[in-house]
Structure 1
Amino acid sequence: MGGNTVQVGRIGCVTVITLNRPERMNAVNQELRSALITAMQVAEADPTIRAVVLAGAGGKAFCAGQDLTESAAMQWQDLVRWLNAQRDMYQSVRDLNKPCIAAMNGVAAGAGFQIALCADLRIIAPTTRIGQPEVKAGLASIVGSYLMTLHVSHTHNVAMSLGGELITGERAYEIGLVTELAEPDAVLSRAIEVAAGYAQLPATALRVSKQRFREMTQAGFDEAVMAGIRAQLECYADGDPQRAAAAFLERKRP
C-alpha cells in the first residue's frame, strides 16, 4: 500500500496502521499521506475491524511532521491543493467510527502531532517529545492550535503554538494532551491492549458516540482549515517557510 510508506497489520479485531518512512522519521509526504487515507478508509469499511492503532516505524518517531523536502519545493500556486490534501489526511482519522489509539512511540511534531490529536486516545512514553513547531518553520499555527483547543487550556495552547517548543510526554500528560503514559518499549503493546479492550464494547454505541464528537467539532475544524489556507498563503508570500526549509536542508546536506 502506498509504496510501503504505510504498513497495515492485524491482531485479532485490531488493525495496526504504521507510518513507515523511518529513514525520514516517518515524515509526511504525498505518498504517505495518500496511503494513510486509504488505510483509514479500508479500516472503516471492514466490519471485522473493531479498533485501530496508529504507530510509527523505527522507534525514533511516531511522525516528525511534514517532509521538508516536499515543502521546500512548494510554490504558492500549489499551496491550496497541498493544504487540502493535509486536511483530507486529518479528516480520514476523524472520520473513523471505531476507537483509534495513537501509539506515540517517538517524536510527534507538526503534522504528526496533529494526526495524533485526531485520534481518540494517545499513549506515550514520559520522555518522548511532541509539539507544534510550525512557527519555527515560518508557518502559522492554525489547524494544530485548533486541534489543541479540544484538549488543553488557552494558556498552554498559546505557549506551544507561539513558542514552537516540543514538550515531554510527561508534561503532555500533565496538561491533558495525552491519555496515558507507558514505558518506551511498551507504548505500542499498551496501545494494542487498550484498543482490544475498546473493541469489545458495543460497536453501534461507540459509532454513534464518535459521530456526535465529530459533529460537535467539525465546523470548528473546517473553519480552521480555511483560516490555515489564508494564513499560509500570507506566510509563503513573505517567504519565511521557503527560507526555513532551505536552511534545514542545507544543514542536513552531507
Structure 2
Amino acid sequence: MSPAELTVERDGQILRLWLSNPGRRNAITWAMYDGLLGVREIVAADPGIRVVVVRGAGGEAFAAGTDIRQFADFETGEQGVEYEHRVGEVVASLLEIRVPVVAVVEGPAVGAGLAIAACCDLVVATPDAVFGAPVARTLGNTLPPVVLARLQQRLGAGRTMAMLLTARLLPATEAAVAGFVSEIVDPAALDEQVEGLLQTICANAPLTLAALKEVERRIVHGGPGADADDVLAEVYGSRDFRAGVAAFLAHRAIEWEGR
C-alpha cells in the first residue's frame, strides 16, 4: 500500500493538490498537515500560479478526518491543544493563499476534510459527497475556534451548530442550499466541468481575484467597515486596470499580466 502523502503538482497556471491516504479514505496525517501548511508559501513565491485545486486521490473520498492512528498515544489535554493549534495554523494558512482555491469533493469531507474544504473559495461536489464533523458521536474531541468560525461563516451559525450537536452529516444538496457547495456535478462530467472552471478562473484578472479574497478576509476580521483602501489603490493603480479599460473601450480581448 502506498504511503500517505500530499502530492503537489504544478500544471501550467494551476497548482494541483492531491490528498492521498490509501485504505483510510485519505485521512490526514501529520506529514500531510505539514505539506498543506507550505502551500501558501509555494503560491506566494510563484506569480504564475493562478488557481489551486484540492482533490482526494482515488475518487472515493475527499478526506475522512485526521488519521485516528495518530491519536493512539495521546495521554494529556496538552497534546490535544497542540494538535488543534496545528490544525488552526493549517486553516489560517490556507485562508491566506492569494489565489482562488477550489475543492473537488467526492464522497466524505469529514472532520479535517470538512475544515480543508471550508477553507476553499469554491467547492464542487458529486452527488455522493457528504460534509460534517461527527466528533460528538465518534471520538469525543472538539473543534478549535478558527475551524468553528470558518464553518459558521460558510454554513451559517445555526446550521453549523445543529450539524455538530447532532453529529449529522450534510448531503451535498443541503450543503449547496447553504451556499457551502457552489455546484453539484455528475461524476461522469466531473473532470471536464472542473477543468472548465479552472480555466475560467485562470482567464480572469489575478489582481482582482486576489483583492476580492483580501477584502473578504478583512471583512471577516473587521466587519463591513474594514479599511481596504490600500487594496483598492493597488488594483486601480495597476497596469492591468489601465489595460483593461483600454481593451474594453476598443472592444478587444486582454491578457492579464498580474501587475
Q: TM-score, normalised by structure 2?
A: 0.77
- When Rg is computed on C-alpha atoms for both structures, the one with the higher figure is 2
How far residue 106 of structure 1 moved from its aligned partner, in angstroms, is: 2.2
The answer on whether the counterparts of 1:105 and 1:187 sit within 8 Å (CA) in structure 2 is: no
Q: How far, CA to CA, are the matches of 2:18 and 2:221 in structure 1?
A: 26
Percent identical = 27
Matched position secondary structure for 2:70: helix
Q: How far, CA to CA, are the matches of 2:167 and 2:196 in structure 1?
A: 32
Tell me the residue number matched to 2:233.
Answer: none
The answer on whether the counterparts of 1:105 and 1:188 sit within 8 Å (CA) in structure 2 is: no
The answer on whether the counterparts of 2:26 and 2:62 sit within 8 Å (CA) in structure 1 is: yes
How far residue 206 of structure 1 moved from its aligned partner, in angstroms, is: 1.3
The answer to whether 1:173 aligns with 2:172 is no
Matched position secondary structure for 2:38: helix
Tell me the residue number matched to 1:13.
Answer: 13
Tell me the residue number matched to 1:52.
Answer: 52
Matched position secondary structure for 1:135: coil
Tell me the residue number matched to 2:142.
Answer: 140
The answer on whether the counterparts of 1:141 and 1:162 sit within 8 Å (CA) in structure 2 is: no
Question: For residues 191 and 91 of structure 1, do their structure 2 counterparts lie closer, same or farther at Cα, with a shift above 3 Å needed?
Answer: farther
Tell me the residue number matched to 1:157.
Answer: 160
Question: For residues 32 and 189 of structure 1, do their structure 2 counterparts lie closer, same or farther at Cα, with a shift above 3 Å needed?
Answer: farther
The answer on whether the counterparts of 2:132 and 2:170 sit within 8 Å (CA) in structure 1 is: yes
Q: What aligned pairs does 1:188-227 form with structure 2 within 5 A after superposition? A: 188-218=191-221
The answer on whether the counterparts of 1:6 and 1:17 sit within 8 Å (CA) in structure 2 is: yes
Q: TM-score, normalised by structure 1?
A: 0.79
Q: How far, CA to CA, are the matches of 1:163 and 1:81 in structure 2?
A: 26
How far residue 113 of structure 1 moved from its aligned partner, in angstroms, is: 0.5
Tell me the residue number matched to 2:81.
Answer: 80
Tell me the residue number matched to 2:251.
Answer: none
Over residues 90-118 of structure 1, what are the superposed CA-to-partner deviations in whole Å (9 max), with x where a residue is unaligned? 12210101011000122100111011001
Over residues 21-52 of structure 1, what are the superposed CA-to-partner deviations in whole Å (9 max), with x where a residue is unaligned? 13221111211100122234212321111101
The answer on whether the counterparts of 2:28 and 2:65 sit within 8 Å (CA) in structure 1 is: yes
Paired residue type of 1:54: V
Matched position secondary structure for 1:134: coil
Q: What aligned pairs does 1:62-77 form with structure 2 within 5 A after superposition? A: 62-75=62-75, 76-77=77-78
Question: For residues 58 and 40 of structure 1, do their structure 2 counterparts lie closer, same or farther at Cα, with a shift above 3 Å needed?
Answer: farther
Paired residue type of 2:161: V
RMSD value over aligned CA atoms?
2.1
Over residues 195-237 of structure 1, what are the superposed CA-to-partner deviations in whole Å (9 max), with x where a residue is unaligned? 22112111112112111111222479xxxxxxxxxxxxxxxxx
How far residue 185 of structure 1 moved from its aligned partner, in angstroms, is: 4.0
Q: How far, CA to CA, are the matches of 1:218 and 1:45 in structure 2?
A: 25
Paired residue type of 1:114: A
How far residue 82 of structure 1 moved from its aligned partner, in angstroms, is: 1.5
The answer to whether 1:121 aligns with 2:122 is yes
Matched position secondary structure for 1:108: strand
* Count of residue pairs brought into register by the alignment: 218
Over residues 66-109 of structure 1, what are the superposed CA-to-partner deviations in whole Å (9 max), with x where a residue is unaligned? 11111232232322222111111112210101011000122100
The answer on whether the counterparts of 2:129 and 2:171 sit within 8 Å (CA) in structure 1 is: yes
How far residue 4 of structure 1 moved from its aligned partner, in angstroms, is: 6.5
Q: How far, CA to CA, are the matches of 1:165 and 1:60 in structure 2?
A: 20
- Provide structure 1 residue ranges, at least 5 long, that are not aligned to the other structure: 221-254
Over residues 136-161 of structure 1, what are the superposed CA-to-partner deviations in whole Å (9 max), with x where a residue is unaligned? 22123454432222123333222211
Paired residue type of 2:26: N
How far residue 180 of structure 1 moved from its aligned partner, in angstroms, is: 0.6
Tell me the residue number matched to 2:237.
Answer: none
Q: Quick check: which one's helix share is greater?
A: 1
- Provide structure 2 residue ranges, at least 5 long, that are not aligned to the other structure: 224-259
Tell me the residue number matched to 1:98.
Answer: 99
